[in-house]
Structure 1
């Protein structure tokens, strides 16, 4: 059950990541430029994928902290995405 919930949170994280990276916000442009030398700017998506993969791996190994930790991570991403997309930052 934890792996399913982590996977669903991962979908939310990737959608939010894509929305913020395509928002045209100066912070997103700076992040894209930072990762430009790594995978032609797609490195931030790879980092997001590795975090998801790690959470799924820990959940599969039975670590009960994996789900709450990834939910907190998703919540923080949500708050940051909301701030970027609404122009609060």
Structure 2
């Protein structure tokens, strides 16, 4: 159950992350070139490793990983909403 929750949040995080990368927001120009190169592939790989770590921790019975990843997802969602709606 815990891994399933993290997996669903991970799908949402990847979708939001890709939408932000494709938005070409001026704030993205402040990121290091390695995060922007090849369509943001490095940043998506980093996102994958965050998801993998959370799933492994949750699979080991560490419930705090679910809460931590949920908070991370909310922060990602709010930030993406701010960027995509040009509020920043």
Normalised TM-score (structure 1): 0.89
**RMSD value, Cα:** 1.6
Residue 5 (1) aligns with residue 5 (2):
yes
Residue 29 of structure 1: how far off its partner (Å): 3.7
Which deviates further from its counterpart, 66-75 or 40-49? 40-49
The match for 2:27 is: 27
Aligned residue pairs, count: 87
Residue 64 of structure 1: how far off its partner (Å): 1.0
> Where in structure 2 are there 5+ consecutive unaligned residues?
none
Residue 32 of structure 1: how far off its partner (Å): 6.6
Residue 85 (1) aligns with residue 77 (2):
no
Normalised TM-score (structure 2): 0.90
The match for 2:58 is: 59
Q: Which contiguous aligned blocks of 4+ residues in structure 1 show a shift greater than 6 angstroms?
A: none
Residue deviations 1:15-38 (CA, integer Å, cap 9, x gap): 00000000010122443724257x
SS at match of 2:31: helix
Contact 2:34/2:42 (CA < 8 Å) preserved in 1? no
